[in-house]
Structure 1
């Protein structure tokens, strides 16, 4: 096991790469990548960095030279032979050859496209423009780089013993959380912490702790590289990116209203009825379910990623009952800002009523709250989202308006089209 504190203290390389593999990304990104490659490789998109926590001055904490060095390193990465073999031959969700030969041939020759970086005051403007299947691959590594460079800037001035104590305390915190979680009967929990992790080494340590501490209750990691290296399940299906881009490409209000369902029609065809998890909150969960076609009710389950998780799950349970489905046979995955207390509360409320899953993210892989002077290692909310498609702005409404994004006039249009009324505003920690 790597001595993380010693590694942080001793490293003196000209560049210590944060991202060393194209597989250091989330599995859902590869699943979406293959679908986009099949259907929309000519769509031009733009992704942009969005720091929701503007009190964290990234451009003062991270030098532009260091950031460019990391991004340029990523642009030189290629899929290795071993990584390609894992993707081509491994079993994912009980299915071999999840990735088609034509897609793999393209991906084996893939390199990251160019980026645009500019300092704007105390923040960075970081954007990626180009064909959708190329540009979309920047989201996860760009976030991981910025989060870890921020961590390094705080750790840089610490002494050897201070670092040892810092990591000892953080490890103790993670282990105490694991001890509390393993008391929950029937728990199924995964690592979803790649995008806003403290560092790659720390995420890997957290996964190893989960493997040992939770046993079969730990179902895998969203991080492909860690899943491959630790011989565990790679976890993930799809994200808000798909309905956001599909919606932006819609020509009329009627097409816009159907865009989220067209995403899932295509998904069903692309993966032959596997990976049937609904992510309904892009334009409001209730409206999505109210207007959903009958065939969606037979899908495996639903992921709750914004708003009140209790309300979202109860809405889904009522919907299944109305559609003649048994909620006890359905899977509900909670994945929004989870920590032990919320996992315990949600487990207590829904255990036995539905099949439960938890995607534990930032507060697994980046919970250093109160452990550094002035709390400078506290997690914060940083995202990288598709902001346009073929020159049209993208919009996300979410079940929490604090997570909404897009031009004000388009947000109002989308709210009208999708029948979204008043929403409760919840603080966004991560």
Structure 2
């Protein structure tokens, strides 16, 4: 490796990977998935030297094991069960599950294959490695880091005086400039004194442990996609029902923020009826117009006879402090409002951040897809399956009342 090791702990992933991981372990341990990397930036190219460094960094990541201290930390989280901790004690990443090459338009192709238990845990460290390798090798990193520090100081000053956003967390691991940049941001945010705002946590479990913050995260789109579409007996238009049902079987009333936009929020609301709306403490926004979405969720709770003031709307889509302030002012007197803010905190420099993702593209040999509330945020290798999924959703929305 030409760079220092980027991922140095298996805790260095987003919290929702462990939340989903436990439920996968107990209910879907035989599921197999394929994950595919995609760079959405049309002007970005990974050199052969970068690809080789990414390979070496992922090999180093695959040499890691959980320490007993790390497992003890996870075991203290209310909803994590001892049986899953025992699994993690034996778990190790497998480099053999990765296929990495330069055979892509952007110069980098990554796919992972294997059990969902394994491949789910690869996504976040892989993206963090790709980001840091790119920014350290494509630019003058010291200059980028200096601009990052300068902008971070201004953000904290603005958040301390100009903006009120209530509770917010840092969600930037997968697209961070570097490990040191994300850690600096988390440390500075914890030390800052805000007016009308409170920094409560981070999705990065390693940093949450290190700085005594709340590790934040419940479910991602992969949960709805694989649970709902990975069984050929399921009608994929009911993906949310299968996913919510499995989640409640695992956690009951704990760990309950539901993601709404895997196959559109309107379809989600067909399944988010009284039982689930009562059991889940709130919902997360990740695509579409956030004000329209929030109003829709409040109206849905009211229709069910549930007081929205007792529920949380968590916004996590491309936020900065100014936008979070607007949303907080709009909703603050009617419901609990929280924010997960990612790239704006962890990778704001003088050059644009990468727009890279790694998504589930196959589950049990079958295509899976996301149909979000924002066109273009989905990813599927088979356009015919996307067409089929849309037809299933349309039929349900028009016929299944």
> Is the contact made by 1:249 and 1:389 (CA closer than 8 Å) also made in structure 2?
yes
**CA positional deviation for 1:181:** 2.3
Structure 1 residues 191, 214: CA separation in 2 closer, same or farther (over 3 Å shift)? farther
**Equivalence for 2:224:** 243
- Who is 1:151 aligned against? 135
TM-aligned CA deviation for residue 185 of structure 1? 4.5
The 1-side partners of 2:291 and 2:395 are apart by 19
Alignment of 1:231 onto 2:212: yes
Give the C-alpha shift of residue 166 in structure 1.
4.6
Secondary structure of the residue aligned to 1:402 is: coil
Deviation at 1:144, TM superposition (A): 0.2
Determine if the alignment matches structure 1 residue 25 to structure 2 residue 5. no
- 2:28 matches 1:44: no
Aligned to 2:11, the other structure's residue is in SS state coil
Residues 50-109 of structure 1 deviation map (CA, whole Å, 9 limit, x = unaligned) = 11223211246x522211110100111100121112112x2x3xx3xx322221112112
Q: Is the 8 A contact 2:169 2:339 kept in 1?
A: yes
What does residue 428 of structure 1 align with?
none
Assess if the C-alpha contact under 8 Å between 2:241 and 2:271 holds in 1.
no
Listed one character per residue, the Cα deviations across residues 348-403 of structure 1 (whole Å, up to 9, x for unaligned) are 211212111000001110001xx2xxx3xx10210111110111011101001110
Shift of 1:205: 0.3
Shift of 1:214: 4.2
Match of 2:65 among 49, 74, 78: 78
3-state SS, counterpart of residue 394 of structure 2: coil
Which whole-Å CA distance do the structure 2 matches of 1:289 and 1:329 have between them?
18
The SS at the match of 1:418 is helix
Residues 278, 301 of structure 1: 8 Å contact kept: yes
Give the match for residue 188 of structure 2.
209
- For 2:344 and 2:46, how far apart are their aligned partners in 1? 20
Residue 196 of structure 1 is aligned with which of 175, 183, 190? 175
> Does the C-alpha gap of structure 1 residues 124 and 354 become closer, same or farther in structure 2, counting only changes over 3 Å?
same
Q: Which runs of 5+ in 2 are unaligned?
A: 397-401
Q: 2:361 aligns with which of 374, 380, 387?
A: 387
Kindly indicate whether the alpha-carbon contact (under 8 Å) linking 2:347 and 2:353 is maintained by their aligned counterparts in 1. Answer: yes
Partner of 2:372: 398
Most deviating of 79-88 and 144-153: 79-88
- Does structure 1 residue 275 correspond to structure 2 residue 255? yes
Whether 1:326 and 2:307 are equivalent positions in the alignment is yes
Aligned to 2:102: 119
8 Å contact from structure 1 (residues 194, 361) kept in 2: yes
Structure 2 residue aligned with 1:313, among 289, 294, 315?
294
2:315 paired with 1:340: no
For 1:122 and 1:290, locate their aligned partners in 2 and report how far apart those are by CA, in whole Å: 39
Question: Which of the numbers 129, 142, 163 marks the counterpart of 2:113?
Answer: 129
Task: Give the distance between the partners of 2:158 and 2:223, measured in 1 at CA.
Answer: 36
1:187 aligned residue:
166
Once residues 49 and 34 of structure 1 are traced to their aligned partners in structure 2, the CA distance between those partners, rounded to angstroms, is 24
Q: Is the 8 A contact 1:250 1:259 kept in 2?
A: no
SS in 1 for 2:175: coil
Shift in Å, 1:291: 4.2
Structure 1 unaligned spans of 5+: 1-12, 422-430
412, 425, 430: which one aligns with 2:387 = 412
2:155 counterpart residue number: 177
* Contact 1:247/1:394, CA 8 A, preserved across alignment: no
Structure 1 residues 331 and 122: CA distance shift in structure 2, 3 A: closer
CA RMSD, aligned part only? 2.0
Matched, 1:303 2:284: yes
- The residue aligned with 2:399 is none
